[in-house]
Amino acid sequence: MTGGIDFLRPELLALLPLAALPLFARSTDARHYPHLGWLPADPAGRLIGLLLRLFAALAIAAVAIALAAPGRAQTVEPRTGRGAELLLLIDRSRSMDERMLPSDWRELSPYDIRHQTLSRGPVKSRAARELLADFVARRPDDRFAVSFFSASTLYVVPFTQHDEVVQAGIAAGGVHRGLSETDVGRALISSVARFEKRAYSGSRIILLVSDGGARLDEDTRLAIRAGFERQRVALYWIYLKGFGRPDLEAAGEASEAIPEVALHRFFQTLPTPYHAYQAQSPEDLAAAVADVGRQQNHPLDFEELIPRRDYSRHFVALALALVAVLVLARRWQLGGAT
C-alpha cells in the first residue's frame, strides 16, 4: 500500500504563483545599446534567455513546494520477518520488591547468604525490568504487549512495534512498590484473550515474569487450558526464585501442596509449548531471557508502520541545481558581453 502525497504546510502552496514573476520580468542585466538595430538578430540567444526565465520560474516553484513540506503519508505495509508476538505479563505484587541472590552468591558461606541477600541482593522486579528492557531493545522485529498483574490484570501496552512505548510500560512498573495480592489464574485467562481477534501470524508467547505460584481451581485450569489451545500461545515462565523459595522441580506427591510446584506441574499439562526458567540471581535471569530470545524465531507476518517520508529536500536540491545553472549562465553571459 502506498500513501498519497500530503503537505505539512499546505497553506504555503499559495506562494506558487510567484513562479510566474520571471516569465513576465524584463531582463535586468541586458546592456543598453543606443541602437538595437545595429545588433544582429540572435534566435539562439533568445531561446537561451527564455530557457533561463523558465529555470528561474521552476526554481521559485520548487522552493515554494519545499516550504510546504511535501511527503508521503505514513503507511502500513505487510512484511514477513522473523520474530514473535510477545506479551510480557509482569507480576506487580509486593513480593517482587524483595531481593534476589547477589551475583557472587556462590562465593559466600551458607551462613552469610541470607544476610547478604537481604542487604545487597538486587531487587527482583528491578533486575527483571532491566533485562526485559534490554530484551525488547534487541528484538526490533517482535511485537510486544505489556501487562501487569496483581489481584487484577492491568493492561499497560497493547501490541505495538513502538519500542519506546513498550519501554515506557516496563519503566512504569518501577514506580513505587507493588500491590498486595496476586491472582495469576485470572491474569493468564485475560492475557490469552488479548490474542483474540488478532490474525494468527507466526508465533505467540506469553512471557510470565513472576516469583510466586498458585493452586488454581478446576474452572480456572480449564479456562486457561482452553485459551492456550485456542489461541495457540506458548508460555514461558521466568520464575524469580527468592532465597529459600521452593524449587519447581521438587519431586514427590507431597510437593504438589507447594503453590509454585503445583502451578509448574499444571503448566506442563498445557497443550502448547511451555518452558520454565528458574532464576535465583541476575545471571540466571539474563540466561533465561537470552534463551527465550533464541527459542522464538519463526517467520512472522506483520504490518510494518512506515513513517512519513519527507520530500522537501528533493525540491530544495532541484531548486539549488536550477539556481546554480542560472548563476553560471549569468556569469558566462556577462563575461561574454564584455
Query: Between residues 116 and 167, which has the closer beta carbon with respect to other proteins?
Result: 167
CB of 134 to other proteins, least distance (A): 16
**Span between the terminal Cα atoms of the chain, in Å:** 58
Q: Which burial class, exposed, middle or buried, applies to 228 when counting CB atoms under 10 A from its CB (0-12, 13-18, 19+)?
A: buried
* C-alpha span between 166 and 90 (Å, rounded): 13
CB of 267 to other proteins, least distance (A): 23
Nearest to 135 by CA among 248, 321, 293, 326: 293
Query: Between residues 148 and 277, which has the closer beta carbon with respect to other proteins?
Result: 148
* C-alpha span between 125 and 100 (Å, rounded): 10
CB of 235 to other proteins, least distance (A): 22
Query: Between residues 210 and 272, which has the closer beta carbon with respect to other proteins?
Result: 210
CB of 229 to other proteins, least distance (A): 21
Query: Between residues 19 and 288, which has the closer beta carbon with respect to other proteins?
Result: 19
C-alpha neighbours within 13 Å on the C-beta side of residue 242: 16
CB of 207 to other proteins, least distance (A): 18
List residues binding other proteins (CB under 8 A): 15, 18, 21-22, 24-29, 31-32, 56, 59-60, 63-64, 66-67, 92, 148, 150-158, 160, 162, 164-165, 167-169, 171-172, 175-176, 179, 181, 312-313, 316-317, 319-320, 323-324, 326-327, 330, 334
The residue to which cell 541470607 is assigned: 114
Query: Between residues 194 and 245, which has the closer beta carbon with respect to other proteins?
Result: 194
* C-alpha span between 1 and 314 (Å, rounded): 22
* C-alpha span between 325 and 202 (Å, rounded): 55
CB of 334 to other proteins, least distance (A): 8
